[in-house]
Amino acid sequence: MQSVLPVNYKIIYELARQIPRGSVATYGQLARLAKWGRRARHVGWAMHACPDDVPWHRVINAKGEISRRASSDHHELQRLLLEAEGVEFDARGRVDLGRFGWKP
DNA sequence: CGTCTGACGATAT
DNA sequence: TATATCGCCAGAC
C-alpha cells in the first residue's frame, strides 16, 4: 500500500477552483485539505505549473502576503486581481485572512 | 544519482 | 513584528 499519497497536483487544482470569489486560501491550507500533510511547498510547485483554469491568484502564503517568484509583474497582477474581487489589502500589502480567508 | 533550490509553515528568539 | 532556523520533498542541474 502507498503509505504516502501519490503526488496528484490535480487535487490541488480542484481545491483551488473551489475557492469562492472574494476569498483567498493559503498553500498550507490546500496542502492539508489535499491530505498532503506538511508539503505546503509543493502546493507552490503545483501552482507554478498552474493550468489556465486555476485561480492561482487566490492562493497566498500563511502570512496573508503574496509570494513572489522571479517576476515582479506576478505579485502586482495577483494583487490587482484580488482587489478586483473585493479582497482588501492593508498598508503592508497583506490580506486579513480572518475576513477573506477561505473557510470550507 | 548527489546536491541545491524553493508561489511554505511552524517554532524559536 | 521581524528575522532566523529547521522540516518537508518534488524538480532542476
pLDDT at res. A98 = 94
Whole-number distance in Å between A65 CA and B7 C1': 11
pLDDT at res. A3 = 33
Alpha helices in chain A (DSSP H): 9-17, 27-33, 40-48, 72-84, 97-100
Q: Which nucleotides in chain B have some atom under 7 angstroms from a protein Cβ?
A: 6-10
Residue closest to C11 C1′ by Cα: A45
Higher pLDDT, A72 or A75: A75
Rounded to the nearest 10 degrees, how much is the dihedral formed by the CA atoms of A45, A68, A66, A44? 0
Q: What does the pLDDT look like over A51-74, one tens digit per residue? A: 889 999 999 999 999 998 766 778
Identify whether the C-beta of residue A88 lies closer than 8 Å to the C-beta of residue A100.
yes
pLDDT at res. A6 = 54
Please report which confidence band the pLDDT of residue A16 belongs to, taking 50, 70 and 90 as the band edges: very high
The percent of residues in chain A predicted with pLDDT above 90, rounded, is 67
Say yes or no: Cβ of A4 under 7 A from any atom of strand C.
yes
Q: Is A99 helix (H, G, I), strand (E, B) or coil?
A: helix
Residue closest to C7 C1′ by Cα: A38
Number of residues that this document lists for chain A: 104
Helical pair A9-17 and A40-48, crossing angle rounded to 10 deg: 80
Total-model pTM? 0.90
Please state, in angstroms and rounded to a whole number, the distance separating the CA atoms of residues A97 and A14.
21
Average pLDDT estimate for A40-50: 91
Say yes or no: Cβ of A7 under 7 A from any atom of strand C.
yes
Q: Which nucleotides in chain C have some atom under 7 angstroms from a protein Cβ?
A: 2, 7-11
Q: How many CB atoms lie within 10 A of CB A11?
A: 17
